[in-house]
């Protein structure tokens, strides 16, 4: 007679797990990923031979000079790209986010504001829907080979990405302070500056620095299609089968990512 | 100044938070709202504060129907209404001076609001608002360095700085110790008396309602149970208002708990 007490949520969790596996397994098959291939003896030897050409890293003065210039190019592409992306992202995020909606506060939705919000969301989707590599290929035809194409490609895709994530960060933080200000007659930007940013600033900051790190990586990849910087240098080194140079470039690249990490940590300590 | 006629607020699921409320409150009146949890005190304050649109009846605040106003006029009406909450809605990382100056966001033009973020434009004003509350030393401290009682007084300073024509306080002293609760209730009443503005506060502390306010309205089940000068409210009436109401934890559960501030993962 005495009813066994069961967790009423257990069945739902189990179903979700089984469903997840059912979806993942066929995807693994489609992706043709078979870890065993990695460790087949022939493949290991090929891999070892390839990696052996990377040693020792190139350290001659001529190449280091080129490397320094290319690093500066990459940093410039990433930084200017992010700066331009911010110009696109900030207004779009403010238009797209629901957390500064006065209509949502009192249930009197303004159709115009809602339409504008939808348009902004749609625009961010288009901007980030096309990969930056494709944009870079397009812009190389406009600006010619060099960093300008990379900057333009980054500004567009990262503008879309930043806008989307900014809007979501602003929605997922504690909205009570901003709501209280809007309810006291404050404008949207006032509520943003006095109620929302003080709560969300560290998260916005760390995401932006992380995106800058991604932009460094992306600018390397775009270098392969002629958008300048470390990528273009890497492309040339690889084509000349110069593993030592490629190795030096990779080391530089690693140092850049570490620097981005340290910068992010430092900035977050500042705003905390 | 404030008149409510046959006012009703029903939720989507059909529950009625307010039902057939008729009230009129003249300019300069100081009114306490009392009643058990779930009686509709918060809802009534939100309707008067032009934050919640009633589903039935009429509401006039400052002589106008807020819901007939254009967006801009509604915004300016809201800027003339000061609000206090049980949990002060102040970002933890904000400095006290900024939190106080935020009181005038509804009156300041945008350039002024933005410039004041870069450098506080009215330090003297913020200081003057903190003066009667004994918190001038904390002017440039961050709000997360303050105790709960101090933070609630910062919220009060913001309200004093806003200088609203109508003050609505929703359980402003429920989270404070008795002595502090009385001093905040007194400060609210003093400010209202001095500037001749209307004050409406919901309170759980019946003794404060009776001793500090001029008029007391008892709410129960979304209706007005009694409405008279504080001096004429009898103990029997108060007992009847709370009689049979769930006590202790159950009473707390009936009302949504004040939202604690989220600390986002660092």
Give the 3-state secondary structure of chain A. CCCCCCCCCHHHHHHHHHHHHHHHHHHHHHCCCCHHHHCCHHHHHHHHHHHHCCCCCCCCHHHHHHHHHHHHHHHHHHHHHHHHHHHHHHHHHHHHCCCCCHHHHHCCCCHHHHHHHHHHHHHHHHHHHCCHHHHHHHHHHHHCCCHHHHHHHHHHHHHHHHHHHHHHHHHHCCCHHHHHHHHCCCCHHHHHHHHHHHHHHHHHHHHHHHHHHHHHHHHHHHHCCCCCHHHHHHHHHHHCCCHHHHHHHHHHHHHHHHHHHHHHHHHHHHHC
Question: Cα distance from A29 to chain B (closest Cα, Å)?
Answer: 36
Chain A interface, mutation test: which of B17, B79, B89, most A Cβ atoms within 10 Å? B89
Of A190, A199, A272, the CB nearest to B113: A190
Question: Cα distance from A28 to chain B (closest Cα, Å)?
Answer: 33
The token pair at A135 is: 């944009």
Task: Find the closest chain A residue to B159 by CA distance.
Answer: A184
**Cα dist from B167 to B70, B81, B83, B103, B197, whole Å:** 22, 6, 6, 13, 8
Q: How confident is the model at residue B263 (pLDDT cuts 50, 70, 90)?
A: very low
pLDDT tens-digit map of A110-148:
788 888 888 988 988 888 888 888 888 888 888 887 788
Dmax (CA) for chain B in angstroms is: 56
Assign residue B95 a region (left: φ > 0; alpha: ψ between -120 and 50; beta: otherwise): beta
Does residue A86 register a pLDDT over 70? yes
Q: How confident is the model at residue B69 (pLDDT cuts 50, 70, 90)?
A: confident
Instruction: Say if A109 is an interface residue toward chain B (CB within 8 Å).
Output: no
Of B83, B98, B259, the CB nearest to A183: B83
* Domain range summary for chain B, segments of one domain joined by +: 1-80+165-256, 88-163
Mean per-residue pLDDT, A83-98: 90
The token pair at A243 is: 């593993």
Q: Cβ separation of B53 and A200 shorter than 8 Å? A: no
User: What's chain A's average pLDDT?
Assistant: 84
Q: Cβ separation of B113 and A177 shorter than 8 Å? A: no
Q: Cβ separation of B80 and A185 shorter than 8 Å? A: yes
Q: Cβ separation of A107 and B71 shorter than 8 Å? A: no
Residue B234's φ and ψ, nearest 5 degrees, are -95, 160
CATH number for B1-80+165-256: choose from 3.40.50.300, 3.10.310.10, 3.20.20.80, 3.40.220.10. Answer: 3.40.50.300
Of residues B188 and A63, the one with the higher pLDDT is B188
Instruction: Say if A183 is an interface residue toward chain B (CB within 8 Å).
Output: yes
In angstroms, how far is CA B66 from the centroid of its own chain?
18
State residue A129's pLDDT score. 86
Peptide bond into A56 cis (omega under 30): yes
Question: Cα distance from B90 to chain A (closest Cα, Å)?
Answer: 5
What stretch of H or E contains B160?
Answer: helix B148-162
Question: Cα distance from B80 to chain A (closest Cα, Å)?
Answer: 8
Q: Which residues of B touch A202 (CB under 8 A)?
A: 264, 266
Does residue A37 register a pLDDT over 50? yes
Mean per-residue pLDDT, B222-231: 90
Q: Cβ separation of B110 and A187 shorter than 8 Å? A: yes
Coil, helix or strand for B190? helix
Does residue B15 register a pLDDT over 70? yes
The token pair at B56 is: 């039935």
Taking alpha carbons only, the member of B174, B175, B172, B204 closest to residue B187 is B172
Assign residue B196 a region (left: φ > 0; alpha: ψ between -120 and 50; beta: otherwise): left
**Within 10 A of A51 (CB to CB), how many other CB atoms are there?**
11
Beta-bridge partners for B64: B61
**How far apart are alpha carbons B99 and B161 in whole angstroms?**
10
State residue A131's pLDDT score. 85
Of B79, B90, B94, the CB nearest to A184: B79
Does residue B261 register a pLDDT over 50? no
State residue B259's pLDDT score. 43
Of B85, B94, B162, the CB nearest to A198: B94
Q: Cβ separation of A176 and B261 shorter than 8 Å? A: yes
Mean per-residue pLDDT, B204-209: 89
Q: How confident is the model at residue B254 (pLDDT cuts 50, 70, 90)?
A: very low
Instruction: Say if A90 is an interface residue toward chain B (CB within 8 Å).
Output: no
Q: Cβ separation of A181 and B114 shorter than 8 Å? A: no
Q: Cβ separation of B105 and A176 shorter than 8 Å? A: no
Percent of chain B past pLDDT 90, that is, above it, reads 42
Beta-bridge partners for A218: none
Of A107, A184, A268, the CB nearest to B83: A184
pLDDT tens-digit map of B32-56:
999 998 888 999 999 999 988 899 8
What stretch of H or E contains B65?
Answer: none
Q: Domain spanning A61-271 has what CATH number?
A: 1.10.3720.10
**Within 10 A of B37 (CB to CB), how many other CB atoms are there?**
18
Q: Cβ separation of A185 and B266 shorter than 8 Å? A: no
């Amino acid at each position: 007679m005495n009813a066994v007490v069961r967790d009423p949520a257990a069945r739902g969790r189990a179903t979700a797990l089984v469903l997840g596996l059912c979806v993942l397994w066929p995807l693994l098959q489609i992706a043709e990923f078979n870890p065993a291939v990695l460790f087949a003896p022939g493949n290991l030897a090929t891999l070892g031979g390839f990696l052996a050409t990377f040693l020792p890293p190139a350290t001659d003065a001529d190449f280091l000079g080129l490397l320094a210039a290319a690093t500066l190019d990459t940093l410039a592409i990433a930084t200017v790209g992010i700066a331009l992306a911010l110009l696109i992202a900030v207004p779009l995020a403010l238009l797209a986010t629901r957390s500064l909606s006065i209509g949502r506060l009192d249930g009197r939705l303004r159709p115009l504001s809602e339409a504008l919000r939808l348009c902004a969301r749609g625009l961010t989707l288009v901007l980030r829907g096309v990969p930056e590599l494709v944009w870079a290929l397009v812009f190389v035809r406009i600006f010619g080979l060099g960093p300008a194409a990379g900057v333009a490609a980054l500004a567009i895709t990262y503008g879309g990405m930043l806008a989307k994530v900014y809007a979501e960060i602003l929605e997922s933080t504690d909205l009570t302070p901003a709501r209280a200000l809007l309810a006291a007659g404050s404008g949207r930007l006032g509520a943003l500056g006095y109620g929302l940013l003080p709560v969300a600033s560290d998260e916005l900051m760390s995401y932006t620095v992380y995106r800058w790190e991604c932009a460094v990586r992306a600018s390397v990849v775009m270098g392969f299609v002629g958008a300048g910087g470390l990528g273009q240098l890497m492309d040339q080194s690889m084509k000349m089968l110069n593993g030592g140079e490629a190795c030096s470039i990779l080391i530089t690249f690693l140092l850049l990512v570490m620097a981005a990490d340290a910068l992010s940590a430092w900035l977050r300590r500042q705003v905390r | 100044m404030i008149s409510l006629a046959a006012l009703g607020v029903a939720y989507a699921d059909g529950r009625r938070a307010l039902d057939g409320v008729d009230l009129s409150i003249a300019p300069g009146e100081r009114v306490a709202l009392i009643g058990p949890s779930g009686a509709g005190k918060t809802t009534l304050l939100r309707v008067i504060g032009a934050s919640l649109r009633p589903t039935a009846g009429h509401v006039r605040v400052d002589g106008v129907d807020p819901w007939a106003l254009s967006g801009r006029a509604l915004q300016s009406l809201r800027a003339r209404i000061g609000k206090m909450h049980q949990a002060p809605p102040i970002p933890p990382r904000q400095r006290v001076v900024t939190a106080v100056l935020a009181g005038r966001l509804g009156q300041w033009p945008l350039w002024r609001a933005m410039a004041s973020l870069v450098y506080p434009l009215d330090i003297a004003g913020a200081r003057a608002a903190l003066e009667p509350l004994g918190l001038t030393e904390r002017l440039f401290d961050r709000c997360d360095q303050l105790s709960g009682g101090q933070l609630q007084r910062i919220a009060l300073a913001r309200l004093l700085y806003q200088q609203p024509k109508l003050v609505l306080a929703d359980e402003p002293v429920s989270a404070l110790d008795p002595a502090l609760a009385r001093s905040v209730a007194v400060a609210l009443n003093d400010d209202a008396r001095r500037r001749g503005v209307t004050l409406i506060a919901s309170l759980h502390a019946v003794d404060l309602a009776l001793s500090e306010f001029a008029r007391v309205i008892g709410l129960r089940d979304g209706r007005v149970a009694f409405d008279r000068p504080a001096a004429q409210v009898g103990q029997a009436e108060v007992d009847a208002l709370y009689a049979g109401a769930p006590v202790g934890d159950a009473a707390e559960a009936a009302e949504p708990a004040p939202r604690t501030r989220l600390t986002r993962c660092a």
